[in-house]
Amino acid sequence: MESGKDSCQLCERYTYLTAHHLIPRKLHRRNWFRKHYTREELQRVVALCRDCHRGLHKLYDEMQLGKSYDSLEKLRADEAIMKHARWVSKRRVTSAIGSKQ
């Protein structure tokens, strides 16, 4: 799910963004999540660059993301996530087709 160019909500680089579901879509049909979140809460997304989005999913599995990182504030409060975002913020932005900008 690619959106337009703007600033990533973690590393703040200006680039093309992807939508990250705060509750991973794979978990939406599980009873625990249906009981604890409304439909609107299950659909919440944050706009992340590809590098930050990929990094999140490498650091934590879907269940950890859904139960422990269900808001932008919780993502930003995690030291491992922000360490990755600081590293990403220093990287050169490349376009979706791989050419340098």
Give me the pLDDT at residue 5, please. 79
Give me the pLDDT at residue 45, please. 96
Give me the pLDDT at residue 97, please. 46
Give the tokens for residue 25. 């879509």
Tens digits of residue pLDDT in 28-82: 999 999 999 999 999 999 999 999 999 999 999 999 999 999 999 999 999 999 9
Q: Which residues, 6+ apart, have CB-to-CB distance to 97 below 8 Å? A: none
